[in-house]
Structure 1
Amino acid sequence: MYIKEFISLYKNHPILFVGTGISLRYLKYSYTWEGLLKKVSYELKGSTDNFFDWKSDCLENGKYRYDKIASLLENEFKNSLVNNREGKFKSVNDIFFNNMENGIQSNRFKIYLSELLSSLEYKDERLTEIAEFKKVCKNVGSVITTNYDKFIETLFEFQPLIGNDILLSNPYGSVYKIHGCISEPSKIIITKDDYDHFNCKYELIRAQLLSLFIHNPIVFLGYSIGDENIKNILKTIFTYVEPNSDEAKCIRDNFLLVEYEEGSTSQDTCEHDIDIEGFSTIRINKIKTDDFCSIYQAIAGLTLPISAMDIRKVQSIVKEIYAGGNIEVSITEDLDSLKNHDKVLVIGSHKSITYEFHTQNEMISNYFKIMEQSNSQLLNLINKYSINASQYFPIFGFNSICETINEAEKLKIQQREKIKNVLRNL
């Protein structure tokens, strides 16, 4: 099945699960887990000898324990900076001591990691693809990521959730940063102790994520087929869901792993079996390609009844009701009689409620965001507007991404005449 057809079967907003491969694809300065630790080791010692010594000692059951390597490097980094206050890493020491003086628990190693990952400079050859990636945000419910950098929340303009914030969150329009973020270095999860502590507290976060996985399609980006993060997610789901149930089939059908294959332009999805210790073989859907644009365009092209961000707005109002906010209830048969309060939540028949939340001025003010996201669903509201001939209105741009504007040609003539009049008066 082609990717466009596969994605078109989604009935709900997909969740993106984003791994290191996405940052490596789009950012000039990004690292694999090994690459990040090797970089710190080199900057600290002037060579990678120490790193490879530790790597040699941290092989267990055929796999390298990068969490243990990180623990060794963290200790070495701390000792080096303690003994050389004014050296190469003076700025890291400055931040550390300033934080401690202000009662903020701090960690030199993680401060430096945050500095290394702070750049969001894009690769020039990926700018077109990044623009396509941004357009998917209007149809994405939320993002889960193990990445520390701020690429996703900056691109999508989503709210990052770190640590305990994940437990008290509104999922729509959020980025769940389950391994921490450079904005709060002390919460980065990278060493063995970090992971031990995380695993002890993970049950509550697991329950929150499980709800997302059961009710939404999941698209994995930036992971390989054998990645432990994917296997752990599948373990989480099928520990609580009977593998042979209808619910399990629905979940499997909604799973899509996007696996990178250099140079491939494939748009075909296929089934793939994953062996997980303690479970029978689990079958998911996979696409192996280098054509990420087709995937992004398929997600952005989804036609859903309401955008993810509008759901977030409604959930925020409902949350305010739960919290005991100042709520006024009005019962009326005439929606036009409602006063223009700060927030209005309308419940009723779809025949009596129209989807109107953008004025003409708001649409003009949000022009660049609408164009960037190709938000054609929103632009259908133009058919409800009465646009005066004397009014400037960017109909040419809007019509380029929405072909269902009824009076597009009439509006274009109006705008051309306005421009001609301006030129005559020069």
Structure 2
Amino acid sequence: MTLQEVVARFNTTPFLFAGSGITRRYYGLPDWVGLLTHFAEKVKNDQFAFRYYESKVSELEDSDKLPTIASYIEKDFNEAWFNNLPGIRSESENVQRSIAEGVSPFKAEIAEYINSISVVKNEYQEEVKKLQNIAKNNISGVITTNYDCFFEILFDGYKTFIGQDELVFSQLQGVAEIYKIHGSVRSPLSIVINKNDYHTFREKGKYLAAKLMTIFMEYPIVFIGYSISDSDIQEILGDVVECLPPEKVNSLQKRFIFIDYQKDTNDCEVSSHSLVINGKLIEMTKIILSDFGILYDALSAKKAALPVKLLRRFKDELYSFALTQQPGPTMQVAALDDGRIDENMLALSIGLASTGVYGLARAVNSEQWYRNIILHDSMYSCDKLLEYVYPELAKQNSWKLPVWYYIANSDYKSSLAESKAPHSYNDIVSEDSIKRNRTAIAGRTAMEIWTQEKTNVFKAIRLLGFLPEDKIDVEQYQQILETIFKENANILSSSNTSDRSSLKRMIRIYDFLLYRQKKTP
């Protein structure tokens, strides 16, 4: 399986679960040991300072060692800071303000230190740009244990929730959101780093897991910037797994994608990986790579129907309206008996009230436009589709969109559509392509080609798209197309690019031959 195939089977755009490896890569920030080493050396002015603190916790379990080391360093650092020892205090007003509000000097200075060195490295500018581009439509949200503001800066319009309490006691919409479960440098008090912080975090772990359960069950989760044995991941997954029955644990296999960074790996490798968490086996897909740009390019193929920050605002305001019966600042509500709305329809308009048609203009994609010519299954009238959808959609499709069906069934006069529509068979199928396929077609009719070749559906479709005009019986063409769509109504969206192109050519031919003559006197 390829990375592209892994992404193709996603049911929706994914969440990123991001660890410190991300900002070590892009900002050059230290990992947890590196951060503690930096502050230990400030306290003791000794290159072996971290080893000194490490020796004090040698008897503890691995999961408790670093939080306990942090507690020892914090105690000594805070004492040094309040005694104003040389080299301890920064000159930051933010630090002084935080400490005046009761924040530990250790956490306040950690926040200042991380902010001061959070600059994207030159060699990763292009890769970071790719990540920023997919944030608009291809990522549903981010869960991270990082303190820095990398994602807040990059993912414009996303709402950030800091710490467990804010997550547990807030209404999450599950789209265009960033969950900073270990705190943030923007709120130094929230930073989870010492023994007491982790004790509190673990005590509330079940509440957090319950809150994140919907995310884990509804979205693909891409773990990035973590070691596969990271204790933070193990504990969080452990809390989630405890809440799930075995059959639900099995469903996580296709949802969990673990990015395993290995230096100098060419392209990427896809394999399966297993973890045993609390006695339950979790299967996941492992992607080995060194260039994260490959991942971002692959994720760009999975796109949300609307920009995710717009979806979040819509969900948020709809949720608030359901609770309070009061529309929000960007939401308008019409009465159910509003004369503009058919009594059998639920009308949702997304966009500016002044334009009124923004939502419809983007509600229909090219596959739906083509399919409607065969199945006539659109909820919108040909007049509306021609007036509001066609100009933008046709432009996106290089003006090759079939349009005679809509013109023939609409009272709306569109000079643009009529001028851009094909006016001869050669506007759709060139003489050269007909000649190149003449031997393969061998003088057969459309129905003969279909009957003899339909065991290979797309070979038949390709040949049917290169028939000479005088060899096409429109009724046969219609019968074949209806059979194709009856067997698979979503054939256009599920086909590869080449096969989809062949089927679209066939529909353009049918649209031209049948509906142009109905419109033309």
Inter-CA distance 315–224: structure 2 relative to 1 (3 Å threshold):
same
**1:161 and 1:176 in contact (8 A); partners too:** yes
Separation (CA, whole Å) in 1 of partners of 2:350 and 2:269:
49
Separation (CA, whole Å) in 1 of partners of 2:352 and 2:322:
15
Structure number with higher relative contact order (C-alpha < 8 Å, ≥ 6 residues apart): 1
- Which AA in structure 1 matches 2:14? P
> What is the 5 A alignment of 1:5-16?
5-16=5-16
Q: 2:44: which partner in 1?
A: 45
**2:17 and 2:143 in contact (8 A); partners too:** yes
Kindly indicate whether residue 243 of structure 2 is the aligned counterpart of residue 237 of structure 1.
no
Q: 1:330: which partner in 2?
A: 335
Kindly indicate whether residue 211 of structure 2 is the aligned counterpart of residue 208 of structure 1.
yes
Question: How far does residue 262 in structure 1 lie from its aligned partner after superposition?
Answer: 0.2
Give the one of 348, 353, 360 matched to 1:354: 360
Q: 2:436: which partner in 1?
A: none
Q: 1:371: which partner in 2?
A: none
Q: 2:260: which partner in 1?
A: 259
**2:249 and 2:282 in contact (8 A); partners too:** no
Runs of 4+ in 1 over 6 A off after TM superposition: 338-344
- Please give the TM-score of this superposition, normalised by the length of structure 2: 0.62
Question: How far does residue 100 in structure 1 lie from its aligned partner after superposition?
Answer: 5.6
**2:64 and 2:195 in contact (8 A); partners too:** no
Please state whether the residue corresponding to 1:42 is helix, strand or coil. helix
Inter-CA distance 219–99: structure 2 relative to 1 (3 Å threshold):
closer
Q: 2:378: which partner in 1?
A: none
**2:63 and 2:231 in contact (8 A); partners too:** no
Separation (CA, whole Å) in 1 of partners of 2:16 and 2:234:
16
Q: 2:397: which partner in 1?
A: 404
Separation (CA, whole Å) in 2 of partners of 1:108 and 1:310:
39
**2:275 and 2:281 in contact (8 A); partners too:** yes
- Which AA in structure 1 matches 2:335? S
Q: 2:113: which partner in 1?
A: 116
Q: 1:31: which partner in 2?
A: 30
**1:383 and 1:406 in contact (8 A); partners too:** no
**2:95 and 2:109 in contact (8 A); partners too:** no
Q: Deviations over 1:68-95 (max 9, x none)?
A: 110000000011112227x433446965
Any gaps of 5 or more consecutive residues in structure 2?
Answer: 328-332, 354-358, 364-385, 402-415, 417-521
Inter-CA distance 125–341: structure 2 relative to 1 (3 Å threshold):
closer
Kindly indicate whether residue 270 of structure 2 is the aligned counterpart of residue 269 of structure 1.
yes
- Which AA in structure 2 matches 1:289? L
> What is the 5 A alignment of 1:143-182?
143-157=142-156, 158-163=158-163, 164-167=165-168, 168=170, 169-182=172-185
Q: Deviations over 1:123-158 (max 9, x none)?
A: 111111111111221221110000000001111122
Separation (CA, whole Å) in 2 of partners of 1:320 and 1:123:
41
- Which AA in structure 2 matches 1:8? A
Separation (CA, whole Å) in 2 of partners of 1:109 and 1:383:
58
Q: What percentage of aligned pairs have identical amino acids? A: 25
- Please give the TM-score of this superposition, normalised by the length of structure 1: 0.75
Separation (CA, whole Å) in 1 of partners of 2:184 and 2:151:
11
> What is the 5 A alignment of 1:181-220?
181-220=184-223
> What is the 5 A alignment of 1:135-146?
135-137=133-135, 138-146=137-145
**1:92 and 1:108 in contact (8 A); partners too:** no
Question: How far does residue 61 in structure 1 lie from its aligned partner after superposition?
Answer: 4.2
- Which AA in structure 1 matches 2:399? N
**1:273 and 1:281 in contact (8 A); partners too:** yes
Separation (CA, whole Å) in 2 of partners of 1:303 and 1:106:
42
RMSD across aligned positions (CA): 3.2
Inter-CA distance 98–274: structure 2 relative to 1 (3 Å threshold):
closer
- Rg comparison, structure with higher value: 2
**2:36 and 2:70 in contact (8 A); partners too:** yes
Please state whether the residue corresponding to 1:275 is helix, strand or coil. strand
**2:272 and 2:285 in contact (8 A); partners too:** yes
